[in-house]
Structure 1
Amino acid sequence: MHTFFSKKPNGKLKDVLIEAEKSSIQVGEAKISNGDFPFFTSGAAILKWKEPFVDGRYCFLNTGGNADVKFYVGQAAYSTDTWCISAQKELSDYLYLLLLSIQPELDQKFFQGTGLKHLQKPLLKDRPIYIPVETEIEAFNQQVMPLFDTISANFKENQQLIALRDWLLPMLMNGQATIED
């Protein structure tokens, strides 16, 4: 991203943004769900849901409270208080790192309200940004995309290992399963 910071803005966030459909699922519903797909919320927790809402490279932004940006590659679901976005022209990974790099600005300028602060999407959509040309984004994606693919694969594997632990540990504790030397 450091190569893009010195570049003058040549567009606005809305010029590259793709918004996923708003979810109708609240966090409470996902807390009691036991699905196979990561369920992103406006908190730190990533829960599970029974069916995916999106499949691809997506950013998940909190819409209430404090600014936070998450990224995932693959099938995922998200709560009604989470803004799920992607970008045109292979710019999704760039979008995530851009939003992550301006997270303090997100919190200070784009979260407003007297009680619980909320993300002001229209303001954020009008934020000037640098939109890389095709050759720049190709070089950027060659470096970054494999890293995010690996991070998402590791996340999936961790979730499988957690499920295995949660299934096996009670069996070990009550003697239904044993470990031989």
Structure 2
Amino acid sequence: MPKEKKLEDLFHDTLKDIYYAEKKILKALPKMARAAESQDLKAAFEKHRDQTEGHVERLQQVFEAMGKRAQGKTCEAIEGIIAEGEEIMEEFKDMPALDAGLISSAQAVEHYEITRYGTLKRWAETLGMKDAVKLLDATLKEEAQTDEDLTKLAEKSANMKAAA
């Protein structure tokens, strides 16, 4: 009979999922920055790539605090979101709507991450993992800020350019 799985097991499993996702995102962001036409959007992707390195480091600290090895587990959701982003890069290359499409792809990633980090933070609170709560909350705030920054870029120029 299999061992009964509890919240800590679910937390660890979800941690592996977001760790894999963050590593995939690290690879995708430079491609998105190269594809972006607006200098502001390029800069936003480059800034977020640097932040994402910090997110990976924080996740490694959470694994360490649990006494577990930092390892990822294939995240089908992020694979799909990134594939959609690559499709947009191909289909809208050199088109006025490219940056708006890149922003929408990046925000799909951000919303996925916000969901995961919010859940992990709540579970860490329930499990009494104070250090993990702080680490996850720091990343959650950065992801939410990135989403807000992307919305501003979309509203400031990308959506208008795409509509023209």
Give the helix-richer structure, 1 or 2.
2
- TM-score, with normalisation over the residues of structure 2? 0.35
Give the strand-richer structure, 1 or 2.
1
Structure with the bigger RCO (C-alpha within 8 Å, sep 6+) is: 2
| Structure of higher CA gyration radius | 1
